[in-house]
Structure 1
Amino acid sequence: MKVPVILLNYNSSADCCKCVADLKRQEGVELEIIIVDNCSRKEDASAVEQLATEQGCTFIAAAENRGYNAGNNIGLRYAANKGYEYALIANPDMEFPQRDYVRRLIEEMEARKEVAVAATDITSPELVHQNPMMPDPKGWLSSFNWVKGILNRPAKETPDFIGDYKSSHVCKKVSGCCLMVRMDFIKRIGFFDEQVFLYCEEAILSKQVEQAGLKMYYVANLQAVHRHVKSTKGNPRKRFKAWISSRLYFERHYNYQGFWNHFMKTIGWKSYLAVFCTGDYVRSIMQRNKQ
């Protein structure tokens, strides 16, 4: 079986180079590596295009940067037009130590026709687990959880939003840094929701799977590494506002539980923005709250 792997590049040509080399070592499966450049700097876009030419990858340049979902949709539409059954979406900063990673992930989906999205154990280089993610709360109290940050509690080895990573199981939500999707499902929902530029894509996809009557599946015995090098790209305050905006969009369109519940959530998230989106402190909370 031939499977497309979609890498969305934004000024990450060095990461793309490493990821492509890793993917080229995959065994037991034929891959078409699709690199979508999301309007990177000219020199970075040129480097990625040259990489694609040298390594036999497909290169697609986005006409404009409309965000994570829109960028990945370019690759997904290409995959749909070619009739692919599955597609692996991976951030350029992913590493795949297991050479049968893609093949075995396909086998997991082949064995479970009700699964629309599958993902695996993903860790940071420091072995902090990033999958599976806990489902998003429906109640409004969760929108005030940021208050706990005032207490300056020490970080846990495994964050509160991560579930049981030791056993394979049907789950509610997975990280968007690396996941496999069933193309029939993607076409059925009209591809990823492009109304969010960045952030909360995982939460939205989780609800789309649920609304379609399908499932997400977490595979514990397959591992990938997410290096996720900290970046200073963009204005931190602007990025945090984007996160709040995406969160409110998700709550309104995918997690709506009535007027008063949504009203309290809006107060909670906007208070978060007003209280914490000042000074350098925003840099520390962005990492904790990016979901």
Structure 2
Amino acid sequence: MPSLVAIVVAHDSADALPACLAALAAEHVPAIVVDNASRDASVAIAEASGAEVLRNARNEGYGRANNIGVRAAAQATRILILNPDVVLAPGAADALLAAAKAYPEAGLFAPRLVEPDGRVFYQPRSLLSPYLPNHKGARGLPEGDACAPFLSGACLMMARDLFLALGGFDEEIFLFYEDDDLCRRIADTGRALVHVHAAEALHGRGRSSAPEPGRVFRTRWHQAWSRAYVSRKYGLPGPSPGMLAVNAPKAALAALTLRRPLIERYAGSAAGALAAMRGQTALAREGLVAGAVNPGSDR
């Protein structure tokens, strides 16, 4: 019975998957690839690598697809959730498992994420952190294992039973802030979030899916909506009016420049904030539910 099984959610991830899956195989970590209706060779690549492949008929979003994968990993003791653009360095899986043994009361573990330019990704605060708040976001990189206020959903390891007991990722979220929400719920149980310094993973950052028209707008829409959703969930001030006030004028100005990336960026943020204020849901936008209104609008 494998002690650790990796869950990789793919959506048009053919360029990133080979390196990700090869690194997992080198670490002797079996993989389940949950394919979110890819239109490229993602499924064929995953199958050729020997991974178990679960095919979704439509894009279910990041959290929902991961939940499907974790439920399918019935024989795993621990699950490693990672993006297709994450490549484990040699020994990373063993280092994560060693940390879990060294810190048995902790709930979540993450490797040291190294970006393409060599910088280490470490987020020193989280909107939802109930402890280690670091409100000013002072950034001091850990020099060893450390408790953290947030661990990136790009690569996370935890006990499968705990993940399922907590309900997995919040399935109302299509994309973004599902990792902040999971970190908060784990911290609320009294368990620590541990940055494991000896475990290294290379993160392509943004290479999980192929670029496509409208992707920037969609991304910014979900960032704005999800921030409003989790803020409301935990009783924090609603950010949507401020986000709308800032981004709507910028979108109008960007339209004068005819620069599509800027237009999509600001218009997407404004539209996501407005949708949250009106009580619309992310799942309804993506056609995943029949309803279109969330009972708790962000006003």
Instruction: Pick the TM interval, shorter chain.
Output: 0.7 to 0.9
Which of 115, 129, 135 lines up with 1:124 in the alignment? 115
Amino acid at match of 1:90: L
Work out whether 1:270 is the aligned partner of 2:268: no
Which of 91, 99, 102 lines up with 1:108 in the alignment? 99
Structure having the higher helix fraction is 1
Work out whether 1:19 is the aligned partner of 2:13: no
Aligned to 2:64: 70
What is the CA deviation profile of residues 30-76 of structure 1, one whole-angstrom value per residue up to 9, with x for unaligned ones? 422111101111xx2xx333333333210100132121101111111
Work out whether 1:93 is the aligned partner of 2:85: yes
1-side partners of 2:26 and 2:107: how far apart?
26
SS of aligned partner of 2:168 = coil
Amino acid at match of 1:67: G
SS of aligned partner of 2:202 = strand
SS of aligned partner of 1:74 = helix
2-side partners of 1:281 and 1:34: how far apart?
36
What is the CA deviation profile of residues 219-254 of structure 1, one whole-angstrom value per residue up to 9, with x for unaligned ones? 122211111256633522332122110000010003
CA RMSD of aligned residues (A): 2.7
Which of 201, 215, 233 lines up with 2:212 in the alignment? 233
Amino acid at match of 1:232: P
Structure 2, gaps ≥5 residues long:
130-136, 255-260, 268-299
Work out whether 1:185 is the aligned partner of 2:125: no
What is the CA deviation profile of residues 122-154 of structure 1, one whole-angstrom value per residue up to 9, with x for unaligned ones? 11110122124422278xxxxxxxxxxxxxxxx
2-side partners of 1:110 and 1:281: how far apart?
47
SS of aligned partner of 2:121 = coil
Deviating runs (4+, > 4 A) in structure 1?
Answer: 160-163, 282-286
Aligned to 2:227: 247
Query: Any residues of structure 2 matched to 1:141-290 within 5 Å, and which?
Result: 163-229=140-206, 232-235=211-214, 236-254=216-234, 256-257=235-236, 262-263=237-238, 265-277=239-251, 279=254, 280-281=261-262
After superposition, the Cα gap between the structure-2 partners of 1:161 and 1:35, relative to the gap in structure 1 and judged at 3 Å, is farther
After superposition, the Cα gap between the structure-2 partners of 1:233 and 1:221, relative to the gap in structure 1 and judged at 3 Å, is same
1-side partners of 2:122 and 2:154: how far apart?
10
After superposition, the Cα gap between the structure-2 partners of 1:241 and 1:95, relative to the gap in structure 1 and judged at 3 Å, is same
1-side partners of 2:64 and 2:229: how far apart?
16
Would you say the 8 A contact 2:83–2:154 is kept in 1?
yes
CA-CA distance at 1:78 after TM superposition:
0.7
What is the CA deviation profile of residues 152-186 of structure 1, one whole-angstrom value per residue up to 9, with x for unaligned ones? xxxxxxxx585533231111101111111221211
What is the CA deviation profile of residues 75-116 of structure 1, one whole-angstrom value per residue up to 9, with x for unaligned ones? 11112xx2322111111111222x211012011112222211
Would you say the 8 A contact 1:132–1:163 is kept in 2?
no
After superposition, the Cα gap between the structure-2 partners of 1:163 and 1:32, relative to the gap in structure 1 and judged at 3 Å, is same
After superposition, the Cα gap between the structure-2 partners of 1:252 and 1:163, relative to the gap in structure 1 and judged at 3 Å, is farther
TM-score by length of 1: 0.77
> How many aligned positions are there?
252
Structure 1, gaps ≥5 residues long:
139-159, 287-291
Aligned-pair identity in percent equals 24
SS of aligned partner of 1:174 = coil
Amino acid at match of 1:174: L
After superposition, the Cα gap between the structure-2 partners of 1:190 and 1:169, relative to the gap in structure 1 and judged at 3 Å, is same
1-side partners of 2:121 and 2:106: how far apart?
20
